[in-house]
Amino acid sequence: MAFTIAIDGPAAAGKGTISKAVAGHFGFAHLDTGLLYRAVGAKTLDGTDAIAAAQALTARDLEAENLRTPEVAQAASRVAVIGEVRAALVDFQRAFARRAGGAVLDGRDIGTVICPNAEAKLFVTASAEVRAERRYRELVGKGVSTSFETVLADVKERDARDRDRAEAPMVAAKDAVVIDTSALGIEEAVSTAIAAIETARSR
Residue 12 assigned to a binding site = yes
Residue 14 assigned to a binding site = yes
Provide CB contacts within 8 A for 39, sequence distance 6+: 53, 57, 61, 62, 64, 67
DSSP letter at 114?
I
Coil, strand or helix: which one is 12? coil
Kind of pairing, strands 29-32 and 103-107? Answer: parallel
Query: What Å distances lie between residue 74 and 34, 87, 101, 187, CA to CA?
Result: 12, 20, 34, 29
CB 89 within 8 A of CB 60: no
Residue 16 assigned to a binding site = yes
Cα of 12 vs its chain's centroid, Å: 9
Residue 13 assigned to a binding site = yes
Binding residues: 9-17
Binding residues for ATP: 9-17
